[in-house]
Structure 1
Amino acid sequence: MSVLSTGTGALLAFQRALSTVSHNVANVNTEGYTRQRVDFATRTPIDYGYGYVGSGTKVADIRRMADELATSRLLDSGGELARLQQLSALTSRLDALFSDSATNLAGAWSNFFDSVSALSSNAAATAERQNVLAEANALATRFRQLDGHIASLDSEINNSLLAGASEISRLAAEIARINGEVGSDASKAAPDLLDRRDQLVAELVGYTGGTAVMQDGGAINVFTAGGQPLVVGVQASKLTTVADPYRPERLQLALDGGGSRTVLDQRVLGGRMGGLLEFRNTVLDPAAAELGRIAVAMATTFNQGHAAGMDLYGNLGGAFFDVPAPQVNAHAGNGGGATLQAQVADVSALDGQNLVLRLGDTGWIAMRADTGEALPMTGSGTAADPFVVAGISLQVSGTAAIGDRFLVQPTARAPGGFSVAISDPSRIAAATPVRGNAALSNVGSGALSGLRVEDASDPALLQDAVIEFLDAGQYTIDGAGPFAFTPGQRISANGWSVVLDGIPAAGDQFTISRAAPGSGDNGNATRLANLDDARVVSGGTISLNGAVGGLTTMVGSAARQAEYAADAQQVIHDDARAARDAVAGVNLDEEAANMLRLQQAYQAAAQIISTADNLFQSILSAVRR
């Protein structure tokens, strides 16, 4: 009977070991599966008086071949990889938008200034004027299209945050449930249940980044990258979305747990959600701000140049482009009744970055919305003396309470509201509104050139003015003077300026008078055609063309950096996975060897049972005789 018992026990032990090997092989492609191994132990021997006789083997344990350090490393690298891949994917889409010839700004921009250059060659031609308006409308449409694509990406991020919050809450609840099933001793839990929990934790960290900490007794606690608890024992927090207090159309992530709601710090969140928020804050918003700054600078500069010309009706040029004023949003928690109105005060000082204006105990202060950096501000905020900060003037109306805050978006609405202000081609101010003539009686060699308008708002701009020379070195303007003269110098008055070359003689006169309606003069059109090279951005250091090229470069550089970072993190993650699989992964060659060895042991145990049966039959036969 002892031989039969020993053989039967061994047979069952090897059968269970073969089942475990089969389980390993069957799950070779199962994500997150941890290889299991059977540990054998001798059964309790029997004391027969003359000594102990062994009673065979038994299955002592079925162990998960898990390396907690390798698993933790894989978890960390997985969360970071998910963040960088999300950031890279979205940034690449934005880069394609600004670099593709079918959607970028540069093509429509170049076509518009080419049309203005063509107009300067034939300023009175209707076809060239119609072409300028057509290309101007195409440029305005391109600004609006880009703004629409950016808004679409922003909306997509909102939808992804909503879906992600729901999935994170589900994963956290499932992990907490499994923690309850595992109980106080993970060593007694089913290995497959622990695998399931580890896989859920990896998915959760892939959404939020963060860490997983093993608790005494076997439960796993999961925290976000910012340290907020998602799972603590059998308690799971719920992730939800809340409206941004400044911009209700934008969503933020918040954690509901312990009877309170905590808005997660967008700057430290990891995983896919961190990648979404990082893209919005560090790539999408700066690109939108720069696109808006270009729109404002373009409209302002071109309008100023257009106002310095005269159209075919004989009127000074008005606004050629329309662009909305900066947007101001009050914080949802403001307690006062104040409102702010904003205008662009200085294009060269405009950087497009969002500002926060806050009323403190000592008065109003301005700071950058993204970094909190304090910004210099002048003025008192009244209509007569508005605040001026970063090229924006701000007028405060009503009474504010201490702590009230306002978000100022200098260029947020500019691309979406960019439009052409005129529709009549005859209203294009291609001509210089004044002209210069030398008196027929002049005897000197003086000659006028380079006549241009310096200040179109001067009320005396279109009035006749006479420059008369007293001698070769002195002149008067409408009797005012005398003024010293040097050949080649620029003479200015009434909002215009002109260069006088040569040596005039005493009594020589030059008249500056209003140009006639229908003039085919191209002076202002020539000036407008060269405005794309005007250095009006970043304190007068960058031209409009440079700003357009800089926007494309900025987005492209961000896309490349995100791609390089994601590729590098992929290598780190692959190494971490290889280290984990070296211990926990299923090796088919090893499992095949184990199966062969266990099969032979199983057959040997079966032979023991057969031998025991033969012995038992021999005893029965002897008794029957």
Structure 2
Amino acid sequence: MSVLSTGTGALLAFQRALSTVSHNVANVNTEGYTRQRVDFAARRPSDYGYGHVGNGTQVADIRRLADELATSRLLDSGGELARLEQLSTLTGRLDTLFSDSATNLAGVWSDFFDSVSALSSNAAGAAERQNVLAEAGALAGRFRQLDGQLRALDSEVNNKLLAGASEISRLAGEVARINGEIGSDASKAAPDLLDRRDQLVAELVGFTGGTALSQDGGPISVFTAGGQPLVVGVQASSITTVPDTYRPERLQLALEGGGTTTVLDQRALGGSMGGLVEFRNTVLDPAAAELGRIAVAMAATFNEGHAAGMDLYGNLGGSFFDVPAPLVNQHAGNAGNASLQARVGDVSALSGQDLVLRFGEGGWTALRADTGEAVPMTGSGTAADPFVVAGISLEVSGSAAPGDRFLLQPTAGASGSIGVAISDPSRIAAALPVRGSAAVSNIGSGVLSGLRVEAAGNPALLQEATIEFLDSGEYMVDGAGPFDYTPGQRISANGWSVVLDGVPAAGDQFVVARNGTGSGDNGNASRLANLDDARVVSGGTMSLNGAVGGLTTMVGSAARQAEYAADAQQVIHNDAQAARDAVAGVNLDEEAANMLRLQQAYQAAAQIISTADTMFQTILSAVRR
């Protein structure tokens, strides 16, 4: 009977071991599965007086071959990989938008200024004028199209945050439920249940980043990258979305618990949700602000140049483009009734950087929205003396309460409101509003050249003015003077300036007077055609063409950096996965060897039972005799 018992016990032990090996093989492709191993132990021997006789083997334990350090490393690398992959994917899409010839800004930008250059060759040509309006409409349309795409990406981030919040809450609830099933001693829990929990934790950290901590070998608590609890034991937090306090159309992740809602620190988020927020804050918003800055700078500069010309009707040029006002959004918690009206004051001082305007006991202050760094601000905020900050003029109406805040976005969204202000080709101010001529009685070699308008708003601009030289070194303008003259210097009056080539003689006169209607003069069109090379942004250090190229470079650089970071993190994650799989992964060759070894052991145990049966039959036969 002892031989039969030994064989039967061994047979059952090897059968369970074979089942475990089969379970490992069956889950070779199951994500997150940890291979299991059967530990055998000798059964308690029997004491027969003359000695102890063994009673075979039994299954002592079925263990998960998990390495907690490797699992933790894989968890960390997975959360970081999810963040960088999200950032790289969205930034790459934005880069394609600005670099593809079918959607970028550079093509239509060049076409517009080329059309203005063509107009300067035939300032009175109807076809050339119509083409300028058509290309201007295409350029404004491209600005609006790009802005629409940026808004669509912003909306996509919102939708992904909504979906992510729901999934995070579901995963956190599942982890808490399994924590309850496992109880306080994970060593007694089913290995597959522990695998399921680890997989859910990995997915949860993939959304938010963060850490997972085991509590005394039982429940696992999960925290976001910012340290907020998602799961503590059997208690799960709920994640929701709330509107941004300055921009209600934008959503932020928040933690619900204990009857309160706590907005998560968006800068501390990890995982795919952190990648979304990082893309929006560090790539999308700067790109939208820079696109708006280019649009505003181009439109304002072109308008200024256009205002210095004269159209075919004999009128001074008005605004060619519609330039939108900067956006000012008040904080949702403001207690006062103050409002701020903003307008662009100095194009060269525009940075596109969002600013927070705060009212306190010491008055108004301006801070950078991203860093909190103070920004110089002058003025008193009245209509006569507006605030001036970063190229923006601000007029305050109403009364602000201490602590009230406003978000100033100088150029964000401006590209979506750019439009062409005129529709009549004859309204294009291609001619100069004034023209110069020399008296026929002049005896010197002086010739008028380089006539241009310096101040289109001067009320005396169109009045006739006479420049009379007393000698080659002095001149008078309409009897005013005399003024010293050096060959090559500019002579200025009434908002215009002119240069003389050659040497004037005493008594020589030059007249600057209003230009006539229907003039084919191209003086202003020539100047407008070269405005794309004017250094009017970044404090006068960069041209408009340079700003367009800089925008493409900025987005492209961000895309490459995000791609390189994601590729590097993928290598780190692969190493972490390999380290985890080296311990916990299923190796089919190893399992095949184990199966062959256990199969032979099983057959041997069966032979023991067969031998015991033979012995038993021998005893029965002896008794029958």
Question: Which moved further from structure 2: 615-624 or 202-211?
Answer: 615-624
Q: Paired residue for 1:456?
A: 456
Q: Take 1:360 and 1:179, find their aligned partners in 2: how far apart are those partners?
A: 49
SS in 1 for 2:212: strand
Residue 297 of structure 2 is aligned to residue 289 of structure 1: no
Letter in 2 for 1:370: D
Cα pair 1:324 1:418 within 8 Å, conserved: yes
Q: Take 2:41 and 2:413, find their aligned partners in 1: how far apart are those partners?
A: 75
Q: Paired residue for 2:404?
A: 404
Cα pair 2:289 2:413 within 8 Å, conserved: no
SS in 2 for 1:61: strand
Question: Which moved further from structure 2: 390-399 or 576-585?
Answer: 390-399
Q: Paired residue for 1:202?
A: 202
Q: Take 1:545 and 1:412, find their aligned partners in 2: how far apart are those partners?
A: 20
SS in 1 for 2:319: coil
1:389 CA drift (Å): 0.8
SS in 1 for 2:469: strand
Residue 93 of structure 2 is aligned to residue 93 of structure 1: yes
Q: Take 2:505 and 2:524, find their aligned partners in 1: how far apart are those partners?
A: 31
Cα pair 1:431 1:525 within 8 Å, conserved: yes
Deviations 1:335-368 (A, max 9, x none): 1111011111111010011110001221111011
Q: Take 1:398 and 1:503, find their aligned partners in 2: how far apart are those partners?
A: 61
1:125 CA drift (Å): 0.4
SS in 1 for 2:366: strand
1:544 CA drift (Å): 0.1
Q: Take 1:524 and 1:138, find their aligned partners in 2: how far apart are those partners?
A: 22
Question: Which moved further from structure 2: 378-387 or 106-115?
Answer: 378-387
Cα pair 2:143 2:418 within 8 Å, conserved: yes
SS in 2 for 1:131: helix
1:283 CA drift (Å): 0.1
Q: Take 1:376 and 1:504, find their aligned partners in 2: how far apart are those partners?
A: 50
Residue 481 of structure 2 is aligned to residue 481 of structure 1: yes
Q: Take 2:223 and 2:269, find their aligned partners in 1: how far apart are those partners?
A: 11
Cα pair 1:324 1:413 within 8 Å, conserved: no
1:455 CA drift (Å): 0.3
Trace 1:201-600 onto structure 2 (pairs within 5 A).
201-600=201-600
SS in 2 for 1:267: helix
SS in 2 for 1:277: helix
1:258 CA drift (Å): 2.8
Question: Which moved further from structure 2: 469-478 or 78-87?
Answer: 469-478
Letter in 1 for 2:402: I
Question: Which moved further from structure 2: 311-320 or 43-52?
Answer: 43-52
1:217 CA drift (Å): 3.9
Q: Take 2:80 and 2:192, find their aligned partners in 1: how far apart are those partners?
A: 26
Deviations 1:171-191 (A, max 9, x none): 000000000000010000000
1:98 CA drift (Å): 0.2
SS in 1 for 2:408: strand
Q: Take 2:158 and 2:131, find their aligned partners in 1: how far apart are those partners?
A: 40
Q: Paired residue for 1:134?
A: 134
Cα pair 2:288 2:413 within 8 Å, conserved: no
- Structure 2 unmatched ranges of 5 or more: none
Q: Paired residue for 1:163?
A: 163
Q: Take 1:103 and 1:407, find their aligned partners in 2: how far apart are those partners?
A: 30
Q: Take 2:309 and 2:300, find their aligned partners in 1: how far apart are those partners?
A: 15
Q: Take 1:596 and 1:18, find their aligned partners in 2: how far apart are those partners?
A: 9
1:413 CA drift (Å): 3.0
Cα pair 1:325 1:413 within 8 Å, conserved: no
Detail structure 1 runs of 4+ shifted over 4 Å in the superposition: none
Letter in 2 for 1:491: I
TM-score, L = length of structure 2: 0.99
Letter in 2 for 1:533: D
1:373 CA drift (Å): 1.1
Q: Paired residue for 1:42?
A: 42
Percent identical: 84
SS in 2 for 1:253: strand
Q: Take 2:217 and 2:451, find their aligned partners in 1: how far apart are those partners?
A: 89
Q: Take 1:80 and 1:472, find their aligned partners in 2: how far apart are those partners?
A: 76
Cα pair 1:472 1:485 within 8 Å, conserved: yes
Q: Take 2:131 and 2:329, find their aligned partners in 1: how far apart are those partners?
A: 39
Q: Take 2:53 and 2:113, find their aligned partners in 1: how far apart are those partners?
A: 102
Letter in 2 for 1:430: A
Q: Take 2:23 and 2:468, find their aligned partners in 1: how far apart are those partners?
A: 107
Question: Which moved further from structure 2: 200-209 or 409-418?
Answer: 409-418
Residue 110 of structure 2 is aligned to residue 110 of structure 1: yes
Q: Paired residue for 1:3?
A: 3
SS in 2 for 1:602: helix
SS in 2 for 1:415: helix
Residue 623 of structure 2 is aligned to residue 605 of structure 1: no
Q: Take 2:586 and 2:488, find their aligned partners in 1: how far apart are those partners?
A: 88
Cα pair 1:430 1:525 within 8 Å, conserved: yes
1:447 CA drift (Å): 1.0
1:506 CA drift (Å): 1.4
SS in 2 for 1:230: strand
Q: Paired residue for 1:25?
A: 25
Q: Paired residue for 2:146?
A: 146
SS in 1 for 2:570: helix
Question: Which moved further from structure 2: 391-400 or 133-142?
Answer: 391-400
Q: Take 1:586 and 1:112, find their aligned partners in 2: how far apart are those partners?
A: 64
Letter in 1 for 2:201: V
Q: CA RMSD in A?
A: 0.6
Deviations 1:108-134 (A, max 9, x none): 100000000000000000000000000
SS in 1 for 2:266: coil
Letter in 2 for 1:244: D
Letter in 1 for 2:374: A
Cα pair 1:355 1:408 within 8 Å, conserved: yes
Cα pair 1:34 1:66 within 8 Å, conserved: yes
Cα pair 1:183 1:217 within 8 Å, conserved: no
Cα pair 1:489 1:501 within 8 Å, conserved: no
TM-score, L = length of structure 1: 0.99
Letter in 1 for 2:216: D
Q: Take 1:221 and 1:317, find their aligned partners in 2: how far apart are those partners?
A: 69
1:471 CA drift (Å): 1.3
Deviations 1:461-519 (A, max 9, x none): 00000001111111100000000011111000000000012221211110000011000
Q: Take 1:395 and 1:436, find their aligned partners in 2: how far apart are those partners?
A: 42
Q: Take 1:578 and 1:219, find their aligned partners in 2: how far apart are those partners?
A: 26
1:259 CA drift (Å): 2.7
Q: Take 1:489 and 1:522, find their aligned partners in 2: how far apart are those partners?
A: 23
Deviations 1:124-175 (A, max 9, x none): 0000000000000000000000000000000000000000000000000000
SS in 2 for 1:416: helix
Residue 183 of structure 2 is aligned to residue 183 of structure 1: yes
Deviations 1:438-468 (A, max 9, x none): 0011111111100000000000000000001
Q: Take 1:214 and 1:412, find their aligned partners in 2: how far apart are those partners?
A: 46
Q: Take 1:487 and 1:79, find their aligned partners in 2: how far apart are those partners?
A: 72
SS in 1 for 2:289: helix
Q: Take 1:68 and 1:391, find their aligned partners in 2: how far apart are those partners?
A: 56
